[in-house]
């Protein structure tokens, strides 16, 4: 998954030789799970067919206001197209099209749609060397950016004329990267590194048995997904779980035991800005794990346990400027126990949930939390899906980061 996932992207294709690259661009956008519609000028059809782009985008390609072959056809509404789009990319953007964009000339569907768009508009210039360097083209670049459009820098190299220099359209991969990075820069956690822990830990009794708990990891995975949506680079350290999270901004590290998680967390904590430890880490482990399966020989089996290292305590001692949050799953004296844990472990916040609340706790799709900060201010939330709970948690954290 990428930041483009779920976005409605309108691709405007004007008539330049670089239009052939739009087949690759559409494919990359669709692969990023964006919905893509294409508007092209009549001259763009000389370089790539509407059939190619409609097949790749899985949407009809539009090039005129009406279908001249069907007198009963409904007109192609440029206003609706402009409102549908979350962002618009004009690639290739020829000198002719750029000049018309500057002066509000709406003599084709692409330009009329551009003038109707309320979303961010990116343009990727594509023209020969002398056209690119001409003062009128340079003025178009300047003016369009003053309007609030975003220019995707042209590449430099061999051009269709045989000349070499700036003017070639950015490669499709570079366009997707540029747009993605630009969208991320406007997000509240852009440039932040977020560390999340999730799931249970398993402490070996022997090669086939372990001490564990019922944590599914869903809360931690929801937190990681939300942090990525907010623009952060995320390290998700998870105990054993079947859950998956495919996102360009998320690096998943899978561990098994509390000791494994301790080491992985400390390897990544120093470079983090925010750490949220939602994993249900085992408090105890067998002091001696058998190297072979223990056979059933008696009615009772006694296993000597020893405490695991407390990850939250160790981070509370090591933290510098990080915002450190933990989770507290309680069954009695919930608020009192959560606040005590917050103080003892030097946390900036703790997220309380209790098994006394129906629909909260391990293995559920929902959770009901109370967010408590280091000033002991409490904010209780209603029962919600864990994805919505993750949004609430980051909203509270962001408020406190902004007030620093």
Active-site positions read 213
Distance CA 395, CA 221 (A): 17
Cβ neighbours around 163 below 10 Å, total = 12
**Cα dist from 40 to 60, 77, 88, 162, 208, whole Å:** 11, 14, 13, 26, 62
Q: Is 286 within 8 Å of 203 (Cβ atoms)?
A: yes
- CB proximity list for 243: less than 8 A, separation 6 or greater: 198, 199, 216, 217, 218, 221
Cβ neighbours for 292, distance < 8 A, ≥ 6 positions apart: 206, 207
Buried b (16+ CB within 10 A) or exposed e, 277-303: bbbbbbeebbeebeeeeeeeeeeeeeb
Per-residue tokens: 60: 């009809």
Query: Both tokens of residue 236?
Result: 């998700």
At a CB cut-off of 8 Å and minimum separation 6, what does 146 contact? none
Quote the CA–CA distance of 265 and 133 in Å, as a whole number: 52
Structure tokens given for 284: 């105890």
């Amino acid at each position: 998954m990428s930041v483009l996932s779920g976005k409605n992207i309108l691709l405007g294709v004007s008539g330049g030789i670089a239009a052939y690259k739009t087949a690759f661009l559409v494919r990359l956008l669709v692969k990023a799970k964006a919905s893509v519609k294409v508007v092209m000028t009549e001259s763009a059809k000389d370089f790539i067919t509407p059939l190619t782009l409609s097949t790749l985008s899985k949407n009809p390609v539009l090039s005129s206001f009406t279908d001249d072959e069907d007198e009963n056809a409904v007109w192609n509404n440029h206003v609706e197209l402009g409102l549908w789009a979350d962002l618009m990319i004009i690639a290739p953007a020829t000198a002719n099209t750029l000049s018309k964009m500057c002066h509000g000339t709406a003599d084709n569907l692409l330009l009329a749609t551009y003038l109707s768009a309320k979303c961010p508009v990116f343009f990727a210039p594509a023209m020969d060397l002398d056209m690119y360097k001409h003062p009128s083209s340079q003025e178009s670049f300047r003016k369009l950016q003053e309007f609030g459009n975003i220019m995707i820098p042209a590449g430099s190299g061999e051009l269709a004329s045989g000349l070499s220099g700036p003017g070639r359209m950015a490669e499709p991969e570079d366009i997707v990267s540029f747009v993605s990075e630009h969208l991320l820069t406007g997000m509240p956690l852009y440039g932040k590194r977020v560390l999340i822990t999730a799931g249970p830990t398993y402490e070996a009794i022997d090669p086939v048995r372990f001490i564990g708990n019922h944590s599914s990891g869903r809360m931690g995975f929801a937190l990681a997904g939300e942090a990525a949506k907010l623009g952060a680079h995320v390290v998700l350290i998870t105990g054993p779980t079947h859950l998956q999270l495919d996102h360009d901004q998320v690096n998943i590290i899978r561990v098994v035991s509390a000791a494994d998680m301790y080491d992985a967390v400390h390897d990544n904590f120093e470079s983090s800005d925010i750490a949220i430890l939602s994993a249900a880490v085992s408090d105890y482990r067998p002091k001696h794990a058998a190297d072979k399966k223990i056979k059933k020989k008696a009615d009772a089996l006694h296993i000597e346990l020893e405490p695991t290292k407390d990850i939250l305590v160790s981070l509370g001692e090591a933290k510098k400027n990080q915002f450190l949050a933990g989770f507290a799953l309680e069954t009695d004296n919930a608020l009192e126990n959560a606040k005590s844990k917050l103080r003892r472990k030097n946390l900036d916040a703790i997220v309380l949930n209790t098994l006394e609340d129906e629909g909260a706790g391990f293995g559920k799709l929902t959770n009901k939390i109370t967010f408590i900060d280091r000033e002991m201010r409490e904010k209780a939330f209603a029962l919600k899906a864990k994805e919505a709970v993750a949004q609430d948690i980051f909203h509270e954290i962001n408020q406190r980061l902004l007030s620093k």
